[in-house]
Amino acid sequence: MAQEPYSPRRSVLYIPASNDKALAKIGSLTCDAIIIDLEDAVLPADKKAARDKVAGILAARPERRCEMVVRINPLASEWGTHDLLAVAKAEPDGILLPKIGTPRDILEAGDILDDNFAPDSVKLWAMVETPRALLNIGAIAELGRDPAARLNCFVAGTNDLVKATGILADRRYLMPWLMQLVLAARAGGLDVIDGVANDFRDLDGFARECAEAAAMGFDGKSLIHPAQIGPANRAFSPSAEALAGARAIRDAFARPENAGKGVIALDGKMVERLHLAEAEKLLAKAAIIGA
């Protein structure tokens, strides 16, 4: 299940476990979550050394609340099971499973964690980056309803989806799949993070992509470079305009003449109790973020 109460995952930064210079920056980064990567960003020759570093990286985690997640290699690969066992011992907040295709892939990882007495606080995150995962997404998301399955968050793997399907690398063609992913995440009560923007020098384009992802319902964005943290945190925080609207709805329902009413008119628009619930959720979210 997604986190209750709300805990932000606006900015989720990948750091290759093989990049010491980037790892040294962890304490100064203002992202909501960090994914230490053992998979695509690490060459086969460096996999073992990278895995051996994870415990030390997690032990030195910053005091400031920043979720620490580790992306392991696929369980079917020669590194996967070793990665999972070693990483579980270091007790990260999450273990990100790449290239999943079916609910079984999640259950299998969860069983290994249970068998090795990993605490319940170690959650599973899943990369959605294969055609099979997208075709099975409803059944996979359903595991979010069972806390014992540990499934907590979906991450869109847009580069791998482009590669696996042969579509042009353009958001227009990814759109139906991304919207389906958001829908499935909501059905399963999971958080869902949009894929990366490879062109990390184009921060204007990045801000536009974040605004679009927020409008699509994503909770945050996958990042590859520290310069992307600020724009992502802004885009996935409630805007001043949205907060003013939420306060107006809350205040309107609090007026004595509206007590006990299910639906009211506010500035010429119909407002129902469901809008009040939505407004209260947004205000609570803003209070937690400090917006």
Helix (H, G, I), strand (E, B) or coil at 127: strand
116, β-bridge pairs: none
- Cα–Cα distance measured from residue 229 to residue 12, given in angstroms and rounded to the nearest whole number: 8
* Subset of residues 167 to 196 that bind ligand COA, contact rule: CB under 6 A: 196
Distance, in Å, from the CA atom of 228 to the CA atom of 210, rounded to the nearest integer, reads 10
22 near ligand COA, judged by CB under 6 A? yes
Peptide bond into 5 cis (omega under 30): yes
The verdict on 41 binding ligand COA (CB under 6 A) reads yes
- Choose among ligand COA, Mg ion, none what residue 14 binds, the Cβ cut-off being 5 to 8 Å by kind: ligand COA
Q: Binding to ligand COA by residue 37, rule CB under 6 A?
A: yes
* Nearer CB in complex with Mg ion: 169/254: 169
Examine residue 14 and tell whether it contacts ligand COA (CB under 6 A): yes
- Does position 164 bind ligand COA by CB under 6 A? no
Q: Which is nearer to ligand COA, 39 or 93 (CB)?
A: 39
- In the chain, which ranges are continuous DSSP H helix? 20-23, 47-59, 80-89, 103-115, 131-135, 137-142, 158-165, 171-188, 203-215, 229-235, 240-254, 273-289
Q: At what angle do helices 47-59 and 80-89 cross, to 10 degrees?
A: 10
Q: Which stretch binds ligand COA (CB under 6 A): 13-21, 75-83, 206-214, 235-243?
A: 13-21
Answer for which of 226, 234, 238, 248 binds ligand COA (CB under 6 A) is: 226
Q: Which of Mg ion, ligand COA, none binds 37 (CB below 5-8 Å, type-dependent)?
A: ligand COA
231 contacts: CB under 8 Å, gap ≥ 6: 203, 206, 207, 210
Distance CA 247, CA 179 (A): 29
* Residue 160 contact partner, candidates ligand COA, Mg ion, none, CB within 5 to 8 A by sort of partner: Mg ion
32 part of the interface to ligand COA, by CB under 6 A: no
Minimum distance, C-beta of residue 254 to ligand COA, in the bound complex (Å): 45
Q: Does the protein bind ligand COA through residue 13 (CB under 6 A)? A: yes
Contact status: 15 vs ligand COA (CB under 6 A): yes
Would you count residue 21 as binding ligand COA (CB under 6 A)? yes
Kindly state whether residue 118 participates in binding ligand COA, applying the rule CB under 6 A.
Answer: no
**Where do runs of H (alpha helix) occur along 143-202?**
158-165, 171-188
Binding residues for ligand COA, rule: CB under 6 A, are 13-16, 19, 21-22, 25, 37, 40-41, 196, 224-226
